[in-house]
Chain A
Amino acid sequence: MLRISNLHKTYLKAVEPTLRGLSLEFPRPTIAGLLGPNGAGKTTTISILCGLVRPDSGTVEVLGADIRTDLERIKKRIGVVPQSIALYPPLSVRENLEYIGALYKIPGTILQQRIRHFLQLFGLDHTGSKAIRYFSGGMKRRANIIASLLHEPELLVLDEPTAGVDVQSRNLILQFLEDYHGQGHSIIYTSHLLEEAQQLCREVAIMDHGQLVVQGDPRLLMKDHGFSSLEQVFLHLTGISLRD
C-alpha cells in the first residue's frame, strides 16, 4: 500500500533537511499510523506522496505506483485530508463539496447522492447555507474529511484529523475510519494522540528527525519494549527533549 525508501527532502530556504533517508513500508492494506513528534516530517512525507511537494531523492510507491511516473493515477485513487482546513471559508459545506466533486468529474446525480450521504453520516446535514467560516472546529474537521472522500478513494490519508476536536467529534471520526476500513479501504493517518493510534492502528511507523525510528504492530512494539502503552514506547524511542 505504501513503500518509501531512502527519501530525502530539504526545503528551499530551510537550514536543516526535513527528511533524511526515510524508509518505511506498509505492505498490506490496513489502518496505518505515521507517528512522530512535532517537526518530525510527517506532513512533508504526506505532501510528497500526493504530489504537492517534490522530493530531492528516494522512491515512493503508493498503491503499487511510483509517484514520479504515475502521479495522476495515484491522485485518482487516494484521498488526502490536509492538516489545515482546505476549504473555501465563505462558502457552505455543500457548495464546497459540489465544487470539489466537479473537479473530480463525479457525475451530478451521483455527486449529490454522495454529498447527502456523507453530510448525514458526519452530522452536517443541518448546516444549510451557513458558511464554513462560522463552523465550529469539529464541524470544520468533519467537512474537511468529507471533501477528500467524494471520489471514494482506495487509500485515505489523514493528517491529524482529530486535532482540536471534542470527544463526540473524535468518536464519530474514529468510528467512521473503522467502518471505512471495514469496507475494504486502506487508511494512513498521523496523530500526536498515541492512545488513539494504539486503539485504531493495526500497524504504526514512528519517525523522528526525518528518519524512521521503528515500525510494526503497536501491540508487539509495546511487548518488545516492555511497556503498557504506545506513549511510553514513543517517549522511550524519541526522548523527552522538545523538538521546536
Chain B
Amino acid sequence: MKKIIATFWNECRLFIRDITGMVLLFLMPLGLTIIMALIQDAPFREYQHIRFEILWLDADKGQLAENLREGLEETGQFRLIDSLDGRPLDTVAVKAAIQGGRYKIGIIVPRSISAEVVNSANQVANELGKSLGAAGKLPERPTRQATVEIYFDPVTKQAMKSALLNALDKQLTKVQAEMILGRLSRKMEDLDSTGVSQFNLEEKLQAVRLREFAAGSRKGPQLSSNSVQHNVPAWAIFGLFFIIVPISGNMIREREEGSLMRIRMVPGSYLSILAGKLLFYVLLGTAQFYMMLVAGLLILPHLGLPALVMGQAPAALLVTALAIAITATAYGLLVGAVFQTPNQALPFGAISIVILSAIGGIWVPVEILPPGLQQLAKASPMYWALDAINDLFLRHGNLKTVATHMGILSIFSACFLFIAGWIENYRKK
C-alpha cells in the first residue's frame, strides 16, 4: 500500500512539473469537444430545424398550388423561393439554377393542375352522390393527366428527397380528399330537409392521428440525440483515450532514462508500483472526462447549443467513467510496453485511437453505419464506452443497464494489461 501511494504521489509530482503538458492534456480535448459539437450541430439538425430552400414555380395560380405551398411551409423544413435575382421564375431559370448547383430542389406546378383536381373531385362526388340518390350534378369532363415536376441536384441526399416527396404526396392526397369531402358534404346538405348539416365528414376522418411516444420508462425528460448529446460524450471518450500519449511516453522515458531500472531493483512485486501508476492515470482520465461533460453542461449553452443532459444515475456514470479510464490507461500501458521509442509509440498510439474511435461510432453514430461496420464497431472499446453513456443519458439507464458494458470494458483492460505484462517480462531476456 505504501508503494502504491508513494508511486501515486510521484506521478502527481512528475505531472505537475510538466505544466504545459498538463494544460494541453485538458485543453485540447476540451477544444475538440466544443468544436465538434458546434460543427456537427448542422448535420444533426438537418431534418429537424434547418430550412431548405426550394425554387417554386407556380404556373397554376389555383387552389391546389396554394395548398401545396402551405403544406410545405407548414412542415417548417422548407422555404419556398419564387423569384431569382429580382425576376420571377420560369421553367428555364429553375432548370438552370438546379443544373448549376445553385439550388438543390426545384418544383414546377403546371398550369391546369387545380382545374384537374377539381374535375376529378367532381367526378367522385357525382358518382357517390348518384348512388346515395342525391339530385343534381357537378360539372365534369374527361380526365387529363397533369404532373408536378420536381428537380433535384444530384448531390441531394436520398433521405432529403424522400422527405420532400413524402411531404408533397401527403399534401396532394390531403387536398384531393378535402375537395372530395367538401363536395360530398354539400351534396348531403342538399339531401337534408332541414338544410343544416349535422355531420362534418372532415372532422370525423381526423379521429385517428399519429403521435410519437418514447419506448423507455417515463422517468425523465424525453430526449433524442442531438449534436451535444452525441458529440460531448463521444469526444470526451476520445479525449480520455488520448491519455495513452503521456502514459506510453512516460513508460518509454522511464525505460530510456533508467528510472525504471531502479524501480525494478526494489524488493517486492512491480505490481504495486504499476497499481500506483494506474491509479494516478485513471483518476486523471476520469477528471478530464468529467471536465468535458461539465463543459457540455455550462459552456455549450452559451454558444447557442442545447445543454448536455446527463441522465439520473450519477453513481452509474462515475462507475462508467472509471471503467473507461481504466481501459484507456491499460491501453496506454500496452502501447508503452510494445514500443521502444516515443517516435514509434506516438504515431501508433494517436492513429490507433482515431481508428478505434471511427469504428466505435465516435465520429458518426453507429446506427447509421452499414451492418458490417456495425458489427465491427463492437471490436472497439470506445463503442462500449459510448453505448454505456448513451444508455445512461438518453435511455435513462442505471448500473444494471450498463453492467454488460462494464464487463466488456473490463475484459478489454485485462487483455491489454496481460499482454503488456507479458512483453515487459519478455524484455528481461
Listed in ascending order, the chain A residues whose CB lies under 8 Å from chain B are 11-12, 50-54, 72, 75-76, 80, 82, 84-91, 95, 99-100, 102-105, 131, 147-148
Task: Give the distance in Å from the alpha carbon of A52 to the alpha carbon of B2 in the complex.
Answer: 23
Contact A95 B262 (CB under 8 A): no
Q: Are B6 and A99 in contact (CB under 8 A)?
A: yes
Cβ 8 A contact of A102, one of B2, B259, B429: B2
B3 touches A52 (CB 8 A): no
Do A54 and B6 touch (CB < 8 A)? no
Asked if B3 and A88 make an inter-chain contact with CB atoms under 8 angstroms apart, the answer reads: no
CA distance A76 to B265 in the complex (A): 9
Interface centre among A88, A147, A148 (most CB of B within 10 A): A88
Q: Is B264 an interface residue (CB 8 A)?
A: yes
Please indicate the chain B residues that have their CB under 8 angstroms from the CB of A104 in the complex: 266-267
Q: Does B273 contact A (CB under 8 A)?
A: yes
Which of A75, A82, A90, A147 sits near B267, CB closer than 8 Å? A75
CB<8 Å pairs between A and B, sample of 30? A50-B265, A51-B265, A52-B261, A52-B428, A54-B428, A72-B268, A80-B265, A82-B258, A82-B261, A84-B257, A85-B257, A85-B258, A86-B258, A86-B259, A86-B261, A86-B262, A87-B257, A87-B258, A88-B10, A88-B257, A90-B18, A91-B13, A91-B17, A95-B10, A99-B7, A102-B5, A103-B3, A103-B263, A104-B266, A131-B17
- Whether B10 pairs with A105 at a CB distance below 8 angstroms is no
Contact of A95 with B13 in the complex, beta carbons under 8 Å: yes
In the complex, which residues of chain B have a beta carbon less than 8 angstroms from the beta carbon of A54? 428-429
Contacts of A80 in B (CB 8 A): 265
Report yes or no: B267 in contact with A72, Cβ–Cβ below 8 A: yes
Residues of the A chain whose Cβ atoms lie less than 8 Å from the Cβ of B428: 52-54
Q: How far is the CA of A54 from the CA of B427 in the complex (A)?
A: 10
Give the contacting residue for B3; candidates A51, A91, A102; CB below 8 A: A102
A84 to B261, CA, bound (A): 10
With a CB–CB cut-off of 8 A, which chain A residues contact B266? 75, 100, 103-104
Q: How far is the CA of A102 from the CA of B267 in the complex (A)?
A: 12
Q: How far is the CA of A50 from the CA of B267 in the complex (A)?
A: 10
Contacts of B3 in A (CB 8 A): 102-103, 105
Task: Supply 7 further A-B pairs (C-beta < 8 A) apart from A102-B2, A102-B3.
Answer: A52-B428, A86-B257, A89-B257, A95-B13, A99-B7, A103-B7, A104-B267
CB distance from A82 to the nearest CB of B (A): 5
Residues of chain B contacted by A95 (CB below 8 angstroms)? 10, 13
Q: With the chains together, A157 CA to B7 CA distance in Å?
A: 25
CB distance from B266 to the nearest CB of A (A): 4
B1-37, CB under 8 A of A: which get 1 and which 0? 0110111011001100110000000000000000000
Q: Which residue of A lies closest to B263 (CB)?
A: A103
- How many angstroms from the CA of A50 to the CA of B265 in the assembled complex? 7
Within 186-213 of B, Cβ neighbours of A (below 8 Å) are at none
Closest to A73 in B: B267
Contact B267 A100 (CB under 8 A): no
Known: A82-B258, A103-B6, A103-B273. A90 touches B265 (CB 8 A): no
From B261, which residue of chain A is reached at the shortest CB distance? A86
Contact partners of B273 in chain A: CB under 8 A: 103
Task: Evaluate contact between B17 and A82: CB separation under 8 angstroms.
Answer: no
* Interchain CA distance A85-B261 in the complex, whole Å: 10
Q: How far does the alpha carbon of A12 sit from the alpha carbon of B423 in the complex, in Å?
A: 13
* Chain B residues within 8 Å of A11, by CB: 429
Q: Which residues of chain B come closer than 8 Å to A103, judged between CB atoms?
A: 3, 6-7, 263, 266, 273
8 Å CB interface, B237-279 against A: 257-259, 261-268, 273
In the complex the two chains form, is B6's CB within 8 Å of A102's CB? yes
Indicate if the CB atoms of A90 and B258 lie closer than 8 Å: no
Selected contact of A147 from candidates B18, B262, B268, CB within 8 Å: B262
**Nearest opposing residue in chain A for B428, CB measure:** A54
Q: Which residues of B contact A102 (CB under 8 A)?
A: 2-3, 5-6
* CA–CA, A80 and B263, complex, Å: 11
Out of B17, B18, B257, B265, which one reaches A52, CB within 8 Å? Answer: B265
| Whole-angstrom CA separation of A119 from B257 in the bound complex | 22
Complex CA distance for A51 and B267, rounded to whole angstroms: 10
Please report the C-alpha to C-alpha distance between residue A171 and residue B7 in the assembled complex, in whole angstroms: 34
Residues of A within 8 A of B7 (CB): 99, 103
Distance from B9 Cβ to chain A, minimum over Cβ atoms (Å): 8
Determine whether the beta carbon of A90 is less than 8 Å from that of B14. yes
- B265-A75 in contact (CB<8A): yes
Is there an interface contact between A88 and B14, defined as CB atoms closer than 8 Å? yes
Among A52, A87, A147, the residue within 8 A (CB) of B264 is A52
Residues of chain A with a CB closer than 8 A to B267's CB: 72, 75-76, 104
Query: What's the Cα separation between A11 and B265 when bound, in Å?
Result: 20
Known: A52-B428, A99-B10. A87 touches B2 (CB 8 A): no
- Chain A residues within an 8 Å CB radius of B268: 72
Q: With the chains together, A11 CA to B426 CA distance in Å?
A: 11
Residue ID in chain B nearest A88 by CB atoms: B259
Expressed in whole angstroms, the minimum distance between the Cβ of A106 and any Cβ of chain B is: 10
**What CA separation (Å) do A53 and B117 show in the bound complex?**
92
A100 touches B262 (CB 8 A): yes
Contacts of B257 in A (CB 8 A): 84-89
Nearest residue in B to A77 (C-beta to C-beta)?
A: B267
